[in-house]
Structure 1
Amino acid sequence: MQAIRLRKYQFNHKSFVAIVDDCDCPLDPFVSAYLSTFACQSFNTQLRKAVELTFVLKHFAKNGIDLPTRMASGQFVSEREYLQFYDASCLQKDSIDNNAVSLQKISDKTLRNIITANQKSMAKVSNETLQGRVRRFREYCIWLFEHFHDLYGVDKVLSNKFHKLISRIKLDEEGIGGNRLQRVADPTESVIPDDVFARLLEMILPSSPNNPFTGSKVRNYLIVSVLYQTGIRRGALAKLKISDCHFSGSFDQISIYRSGGDPTDPRLDKPNQKTKAHLATVSPVLMRQIKFYIDHHRANTPKQQLHDFIFISEKNSRGTVGQPISLKSINTIFQKLSDALQFHIHPHLLRHKWNEIFDKEGELQGVDYKLLEDIRKYAMGWSESSIMTQTYNDKRLAQKAKDISLAHQKRVDSQ
């Protein structure tokens, strides 16, 4: 079986993704053409879909199945072959590539089965990953089918056979998404418990004895502070420029916007703002701290003058000193904080925490809930038609339902 791997590259300051063979040549013209259909999407979205497709291609190549040939011939994929793919999609890549476990010294067959079953259980991927793999297989099959067959002149038997397969896959795909909603959360439960959040805010202070970092303490403090004060995404933070900070007037505004393929950004995985442009508000104290960092920390770092991005690499372990901080480096910061807190925390969790704080403050100020949701949509960069606010509405409604039920029970018990 030929090697199948993902390749990221840049051309004219724009990032691209390809699936190549062991000679670094495009794996297949159909694969390349399919990947090109994502060209207008963000690079991170292109990368995610390419990773999913790579998994699909590796699985079927390993089993001697060429999907373009199958789709062209009308043989498609059998129920058994699809179920094998689904089963493999449930597992981590490493568990698939290295599933030969030496159990020669264990003679009891039942014990071997228990251990193997437990290893598979431990290696299961998240619902989102599983759903993405299944969706990518379905959409690639549809794309191939439409390429090889005239949709208006295709044989009815062939068409019915194909749509039966696609319907089967889509049913599984939608069922996976539903699994995420099976857990009923306590409406009073915070995404980050208040005591953990308080420890995080204390720990991240550059002067804190609990700070887990040996260097870049000021930069890391600002990264966490900007995220929890604004609720912006990791990508929006990584692309912040000095010119985006309003160092005048009320001294508390930062411009958040999409910039597409920024030619001044040397990063291969270029970050971007995912949603609408808006102004994010931070405290004037934090804004002064950002200005101090720019003038006294960033300014003294080599090669920082080559670009305008605020947060930069301060170490030169890979020759990246002075370059804009990578998304991977931001993840590493939060992994270290998670280890120190003994609580898993990531950038997007601070976005959810921001929304919780926003809800509480809005209620304290007596803001009408409809106006509150309009303000939330603006602050989060969501469109007016976005249904994302429903997540927070549901939590608020659940809390109100709980309060009313408790009040009713108290009245009944007192009679």
Structure 2
Amino acid sequence: MDEQGTPLWNPTLYMTTQLRNASLAPSTTKAALEAIKLLNAWADSERINLEARLAHRQFLSDIEIQLLATFLRTRAAKAALSSRPLSLVRYASRVRAAPGAARRQVDPHTAYNRITAVASYLDWLAKYLLEREAKGMDQAAALTIALMGERLKCKRGRKRKSSINARMGLDEPQKSLLDEMMGTGSALNPFPLEVQIRNAVILDLLDLGLRAGELLSLKVSDFDFQANTFTVARRHGDSSDPRRSQPVVKTRDRVLPITDELARRILGYVSSERKSCAASRRHSFLLVTHKLGPHHGQPMSYQALSKAFAKLREAAHGRLDGLSPHVIRHTANDRFSRQMDSLGTPPAQEEKMRSYIMGWREGSGSAATYTRRHTQRKAMEATLMLQKSRRDKGRA
């Protein structure tokens, strides 16, 4: 936004013509816009009139590209971003005033995505400005713009984290503890009785490998209680969703089975606890907020789900550190790997089955990632067994 509170023209145009038309997830669009906001804040802090420079073919130099990439790797965004809209001038001043702690680097994945988003925007902006000002663009300018984008992308580094430090699922003691804590009426359950059944349903559905967005997007109508199946469906821009931050399904549509027991539990929640919230009759989303207040009976939000997991971590006193919906998704994949091992399923077939269950496109590489992690764990177990066997022989 400018000093008058008006949205900046070019970023808004880019969002509507490039990002929105690409059918990206809202979270992806938001991340790209935040990266563009960082670009503009950096340019302002460096006293660079970015649009005037590009319109006059004065593209970013190698030194400026290095400075920009370094800036995009910092945590300045966390210190500078606000839930309230800020003018670019106030935003840039907040960035410059960010404390030293906020200057630490973000994780490689975030840095990679920021730099990629900024490079794409700069490429579009330079071409748009030149075509608007000069009524066309020659081949030399197009090549220079492309080189500027490539030089910036070269600063991204690696996107994927090392498999050595890859996030893993819960181990057996942690799973047992979580099941005990989530048991309805359990003395270890940190939640009020009125939400314990809902939370048990949440854990049961996450145990099937759902993402948080998929879980929160589920509607009662997605469940076929006669066939004991439910559908995970993409509903980007659902007009019936009143939530400010709409949960979305990033993966492919799919139909998954549920056991008789889980079907009864979900149906019981729908016909009892959910039904007791009057506002729940105005929408069909499965999970609702039970806390009294303005959101009572409304669809459960990301924030409410995050708070529930934070409460679980706190109640576990350090035994469930890092617990999140995504960790449970990892745990579900670990369990799937062990099941495939016990059945002797060939790796190629295992990847196809995993891709369907998790909603991934076949051949995307996501299923292979989990297969590699499971292989890594088995290799470590085998190595320990070899060491133990050798030690036992030495003692004999």
- TM bin (shorter chain): 0.7 to 0.9
- Would the alpha carbon gap of residues 314 and 199 (structure 1) be closer, same or farther in structure 2, given more than 3 Å must change? same
Which of 197, 206, 224 is equivalent to 1:218? 197
**Residue 75 of structure 1 pairs with residue 58 of structure 2:** yes
**Residue 359 of structure 1 pairs with residue 340 of structure 2:** no
Q: Residues of 2 paired with 1:405 and 1:347: CA distance?
A: 31
Q: Tell me the equivalent position of 2:173.
A: 195
**Residue 66 of structure 1 pairs with residue 49 of structure 2:** yes
Q: Residues of 2 paired with 1:286 and 1:72: CA distance?
A: 61
What amino acid is the match of 1:139?
S
The residue matched to 2:164 in structure 1 has which SS? coil
Q: CA deviation at 1:198?
A: 1.6
Percent identity of the aligned residues? Answer: 24
Q: What is the number of residues matched between the two proteins?
A: 369
Q: Is the 8 Å Cα contact of residues 127 and 142 (structure 2) preserved in structure 1?
A: no
Deviations 1:235-262 (A, max 9, x none): 111111111112114x3x2111112322
User: Quick check: which one's helix share is greater?
Assistant: 2
Q: Residues of 1 paired with 2:248 and 2:149: CA distance?
A: 34
List structure 1 segments (4+ residues) > 6 angstroms apart after TM superposition. Answer: 403-415
What amino acid is the match of 1:300?
S
Q: Tell me the equivalent position of 2:7.
A: 26
Q: Is the 8 Å Cα contact of residues 253 and 359 (structure 2) preserved in structure 1?
A: yes
What TM-score does the superposition give when structure 2 sets the normalisation length?
A: 0.83
What amino acid is the match of 1:234?
A
Runs of 5+ consecutive residues of structure 1 not aligned to the other structure: 1-19, 103-115
Deviations 1:169-226 (A, max 9, x none): 11111x1425x22x5259xx94222212221121122312222223522212211221
What amino acid is the match of 1:345?
L
Name the Cα RMSD after superposition.
Answer: 2.9
What amino acid is the match of 2:296?
V
Deviations 1:36-82 (A, max 9, x none): 11112222222222222222222222332232222111222233333
Q: How does 1:320-331 map to 2 (within 5 A)?
A: 320-331=295-306
Runs of 5+ consecutive residues of structure 2 not aligned to the other structure: 81-93
Q: Is the 8 Å Cα contact of residues 11 and 33 (structure 2) preserved in structure 1?
A: no
Deviations 1:122-158 (A, max 9, x none): x4322222222212221111111221346995363x5
Q: Is the 8 Å Cα contact of residues 56 and 136 (structure 1) preserved in structure 2?
A: no
The residue matched to 2:275 in structure 1 has which SS? helix
Q: Is the 8 Å Cα contact of residues 56 and 133 (structure 1) preserved in structure 2?
A: no
Q: Which moved more, 1:402-411 or 1:370-379?
A: 402-411
Q: Residues of 2 paired with 1:268 and 1:120: CA distance?
A: 28
Q: Tell me the equivalent position of 1:398.
A: 376
Q: Tell me the equivalent position of 1:334.
A: 309
Q: Tell me the equivalent position of 1:380.
A: 358
Which of 227, 242, 252 is equivalent to 2:206? 227
Q: Residues of 2 paired with 1:246 and 1:391: CA distance?
A: 32
What TM-score does the superposition give when structure 1 sets the normalisation length?
A: 0.79
Q: Tell me the equivalent position of 1:43.
A: 26
Q: Is the 8 Å Cα contact of residues 128 and 177 (structure 1) preserved in structure 2?
A: yes
The residue matched to 2:159 in structure 1 has which SS? helix
Q: Residues of 1 paired with 2:67 and 2:186: CA distance?
A: 52
